[in-house]
Amino acid sequence: MSTYLTKRLLYMIIILFGASLLIFCLYASTPGDFITGNIKLTAERKAELREIYGLNKPVLERYGLWMKNALHGDFGYSLAQQKPVLQLFNDYIWNSFLLAAVSTFLTWVIAVIIGVVSAYKQYSWFDTLVMVAIFAAMSLPSFFIGLFLIKILAVDLKWLPPGGIITTGSNATGWEYIKEVVRHMALPVIVMTLLGLGSLTRYFRSNMIDVLRQDYIRTARAKGLRERKVLFTHALRNALLPAITLVGFELPALFGGSLIIEKIFNWPGIGQLYMQSFGLRDYPLLMGFTMFIAILTVIGTLLSDLLYRIADPRVRLQ
């Protein structure tokens, strides 16, 4: 187990180094940078700034410098916002987390319930309806469904605010503030839940269908257990087990924000920060963000693997 872990960790680090080099080169090769694009600066000032930020050095040298600092926990300084990248992440990430955590929770709860019921009633009209809905959810263009719901629920019906985290100019505090945030969250959460629901429901449905065919389900029924108990204790426990691996894969989505949804709903999260910085070519921030997601992805994969080993009594011993 420990040699396995060491091997995995080593490989993770190598992959991350490779990814960082690739990301750095890609960003470095996008011509135009924050300084060139800024028309307020004079030519001399631009040259001076390039010198300060080391933008006139060769790519590999810049990469070495960036890497050295990154290893010391310093991901550089955002050029546009004049703040350390990590501090900016800390400012924005929790808004992203709020949105992602709520919608992930809702997605899982709804997906498990619908998945179980439609697996139990496989081939019924309810199941067919669920299947069509699953495909619909998986086929939604995220930005379009976002815009569509804003148009209907916010612009036309005025039920919910169209975007942002609080009403502009609002000074609400305490309960009022929480209520306001919840109202603003509603639309993006609905959209994110909808988008995640398709594949997850499908996953639980097919897992359940497999499990319901197993011999031990027949045994549970032969013991005279209530159907609800058969489904939710005997079957669901087994169907949920492989889903533990998904928890790790949710990690990047939980902390990495959603570029498209946050942009569409003007939600002040890390995804929106990225989109904003992308237009400004604020490289330290873009680099930092991309690396951050890559790190989360790698950790998430490892986590999935470990969780599965812990959760399944059959693998635990081996």
Partner 1 sequence: MNNLMRIDGLSTHFFTEDGEVKAVDDVSFRVREGETVCIVGESGCGKSVTAMSIMGLVESPGGKVTSGSIEFQGEDLLQLDKHTLRSMRGHELAMIFQEPMSSLNPVIKIGEQIMEPLRVHLKLNKKEARAKAIELISQVGISRPEQIADSYPHELSGGMLQRIMIAIAISCGPKLLIADEPTTALDVTIQAQILDMLRQFKADSGMSILLITHDLGVVAEMADYVIVMYSGKIVEEGEVVELFSNPKHPYTRGLLKSKPVINQRQEELYSIPGQVPNPLELAPSCYFHDRCEHCMPVCRSKQPVLQDVGNGQKVSCWLYEEALIHA
Partner 2 sequence: MAVNSSLAPVRRAGAASGRSSLFRQSVRRLLHNKLAMSGFVVVLFMFALCFVGPLFSPYTDNKINMAMMNKAPGLKHWLGTDALGRDILTRVMQAGRISLTVGLASMVLSVFIGALLGAVAGYYRGVADQIIMRVADLLLTIPGLPLLFIFGALLSEWKIPTDYRMYIVMLMLSIVNWPGMARMVRGQMLSLREREFMQAAVVLGLRDRRKLFNHLLPNIIPLLIVMATLNIGGAILSESVLSFFGLGVMPPTPTWGNMIDAANNMIDFQQRPWLWIPPGLSIFATVIAINIFGDGLRDVLDPKQKR
Binding site for partner 1 (CB under 8 A): 122-123, 214-216, 218-227, 229, 233-234, 237-238, 241, 312-314, 317
CB-CB contact of 154 with 273 (8 Å): no
How many residues does this entry show for the chain? 318
218 binds, among partner 1, partner 2, none (CB under 5 to 8 A by kind): partner 1
Interacting residues with partner 2 between 98 and 157 (CB under 8 A): 128, 131-132, 135-136, 138-144, 147-148, 151, 155
306 binds, among partner 2, partner 1, none (CB under 5 to 8 A by kind): none
Q: How far is the CB of 264 from partner 2 (least distance, A)?
A: 9
Count of chain residues binding partner 2 (CB under 8 A): 45
What torsion do the CA atoms of 269, 274, 275, 280 make, to the nearest 10 degrees? 130
Interacting residues with partner 2 between 215 and 234 (CB under 8 A): none
Nearest to 288 by CA among 74, 16, 97: 74
Beta bridge partners of 62: none
Beta bridge partners of 84: 77
Is 35 among the residues that bind partner 2 (CB under 8 A)? no
252 binds, among partner 2, partner 1, none (CB under 5 to 8 A by kind): partner 2
Separation between Cα atoms, residue 141 and residue 87, nearest integer Å: 33
Sole window of 19-27, 59-67, 215-223, 232-240 interacting with partner 2 (rule: CB under 8 A): 19-27
Separation between Cα atoms, residue 253 and residue 159, nearest integer Å: 28
CB-CB contact of 93 with 204 (8 Å): no
Running DSSP on this structure, what letter comes out for residue 318?
A: -
Q: How far is the CB of 239 from partner 1 (least distance, A)?
A: 10
Choice between 110 and 241, CB closer to partner 1: 241
36 binds, among partner 2, partner 1, none (CB under 5 to 8 A by kind): none
Separation between Cα atoms, residue 57 and residue 53, nearest integer Å: 9
Choice between 240 and 294, CB closer to partner 2: 294
CB-CB contact of 178 with 108 (8 Å): no
Burial (CB < 10 A; 0-12, 13-18, 19+), residue 170, is exposed
Running DSSP on this structure, what letter comes out for residue 84?
A: B
Interacting residues with partner 2 between 286 and 305 (CB under 8 A): 286, 289-290, 293-294, 297-298
Is 26 among the residues that bind partner 2 (CB under 8 A)? yes
Q: How far is the CB of 4 from partner 2 (least distance, A)?
A: 17
What torsion do the CA atoms of 262, 264, 265, 266 make, to the nearest 10 degrees? 70
Is 69 among the residues that bind partner 2 (CB under 8 A)? no
Beta bridge partners of 77: 84
Interacting residues with partner 2 between 196 and 215 (CB under 8 A): 202-203, 206, 213
222 binds, among partner 1, partner 2, none (CB under 5 to 8 A by kind): partner 1
CB-CB contact of 84 with 244 (8 Å): no
Give the residues lining the site for partner 2 (CB under 8 A).
15-16, 18-19, 22-23, 26-27, 29-32, 128, 131-132, 135-136, 138-144, 147-148, 151, 155, 202-203, 206, 213, 252, 256, 259-260, 274, 278, 286, 289-290, 293-294, 297-298
